[in-house]
Structure 1
């Protein structure tokens, strides 16, 4: 039986204000999340990436140092994913040095389950996001290594969800997910181990269930397009208790889920 608690924040985008993001208020908006996490004492603090909005290397480093100082005040295991803005002008190594945690794919054990931290390339190229194919062997091996149910976390979602109405991605699916997202899902589904997949990047709360796997995305902390003119202030808590998980997103764009927590191999229709 699995028992774990995660506090989650996504797409902090510390940096300049834009028409839809209050990046200039990111540090202020982080305070309630950090206070909440320190009270909740989670097993893991999960940061889904895009901690900054990239401007230039000195500015980006300064903003990341500020964000890292806030998140580092929470004394627990920390997972920081790389987002596309995080590597716009800084390297993976620079991010790791400032945050003080590995910025690579790895597995984090929990009580009765595990977090599979999947870190493929996230830099957006002229044609969009590159294929994730080179990291699929690692994902396949990590999922096969244990019979415990897995929570896969990635900055970029792979559900193939509809993005109609999304401010950024309605007409930009090439930067919303990987071109080979169906193959990524196939690896997860064939493992029979994935109980939940959590991502950020698309700046809204969503649930998409594909072949028995719930794919969830979490709203950006500083986003305003769903809560104009104020930022969402979104952050989340994930509670896993036995065969159930509850996800609650706090802030101006609330969201709540309560679903079974079990490997995808136990969710399929009989005879399939």
Structure 2
């Protein structure tokens, strides 16, 4: 099995400044420049087999503004000299529709899908957030996933926007006391599907605006930090500039998160 190298970026948030609890938290004015820098590094240095965008390309504002910004973000990502795999984030779908996204993605069908690439089976899930309520995966998508994994003949990596793990959120800037807005409601059933398939090697997600790694029943769940998260307590701020380089082989998965909030994880298969 050949090595597969992924360049992963998430929560780019093109759009207006975003404050939370009175403090500047998303350095959105850096989004375009940081995305350009990510793509430039991928092309010059990493040369990945695939670019993976885990969603929240925009900080939602209005339908027209969101359409322009989503297209801008995607246009920069497509400068990468590697195929682009997109995941839908919750901010992406506040004012835009599934049709808007798939048109920009140059993709047909639902916002969840699967493909084989470089000796690996890659699954994209669509987690659906109801604002200030919960995050769900409908039964039809769970049934599709179970069937897809049953038919898959290759080791599998799953990409989603929200988390399917059991993260302790007590120290989270964004989600302390609000797990229903960070973690998928059907996560126990989702993990059971992963485990029963005996094919899923790792799951990657964004959304939580931090790096996190845990292992549940032998399967690693990896959360990647947002590109534009403010690492300081308030303005003027310091963007994380985070992105991940993931190398997959038959023996192991190595995850290196680069930028101002680095992390490294190694998973022996």
Decide: shared fold, TM above 0.5: yes
Partner Cα separation in structure 2 for residue 142 and residue 130 of structure 1: 19
Match of 1:70 in 2: 76
Offset at residue 46 of structure 1 (A) = 0.1
Q: 2:266 aligns with which of 238, 258, 267?
A: 258
Partner Cα separation in structure 2 for residue 136 and residue 149 of structure 1: 19
User: Which secondary structure does the structure 2 equivalent of 1:67 belong to?
Assistant: helix
User: Which 10-residue stretch deviates more, 143-152 or 79-88?
Assistant: 143-152
Deviations 1:60-113 (A, max 9, x none): 111112111100111322111000000000001101212323562222212332
Partner Cα separation in structure 2 for residue 163 and residue 134 of structure 1: 29
User: Which secondary structure does the structure 2 equivalent of 1:28 belong to?
Assistant: helix
Contact map agreement 2:134 2:181 (CA 8 A) in 1:
yes
Q: CA 1:217–1:227 in 2, change beyond 3 Å: closer, same or farther?
A: farther
Match of 2:146 in 1: 140
Partner Cα separation in structure 1 for residue 118 and residue 41 of structure 2: 22
Unaligned stretches of 5+ in structure 1? 262-272
Q: 1:116 aligns with which of 116, 119, 123?
A: 123
Match of 2:96 in 1: 90
User: Which secondary structure does the structure 2 equivalent of 1:246 belong to?
Assistant: strand
Q: CA 1:179–1:226 in 2, change beyond 3 Å: closer, same or farther?
A: farther
> Is 2:113 aligned against 1:106?
yes
> Is 2:27 aligned against 1:22?
yes
Match of 1:38 in 2: 43
User: Which secondary structure does the structure 1 equivalent of 2:84 belong to?
Assistant: strand
When normalised by structure 2's length, the TM-score is: 0.91
Contact map agreement 1:88 1:123 (CA 8 A) in 2:
no
Q: For this pair of structures, how many residues does the alignment match?
A: 260
Q: 1:163 aligns with which of 141, 160, 169?
A: 169
Q: 1:130 aligns with which of 126, 136, 155?
A: 136
Offset at residue 158 of structure 1 (A) = 0.3
> Is 2:251 aligned against 1:243?
yes
Unaligned stretches of 5+ in structure 2? 19-23
Q: CA 1:75–1:227 in 2, change beyond 3 Å: closer, same or farther?
A: farther
Match of 1:207 in 2: 213
Partner Cα separation in structure 2 for residue 164 and residue 132 of structure 1: 28
Q: CA 1:139–1:28 in 2, change beyond 3 Å: closer, same or farther?
A: same
Deviations 1:134-183 (A, max 9, x none): 31111111111123210011111101211111111111111111212111
Q: 1:221 aligns with which of 218, 227, 232?
A: 227
Match of 1:5 in 2: 5
Contact map agreement 1:132 1:184 (CA 8 A) in 2:
no
Q: Where in structure 1 do 4 or more consecutive aligned residues deviate above 3 Å?
A: 225-228
Q: CA 1:244–1:167 in 2, change beyond 3 Å: closer, same or farther?
A: same
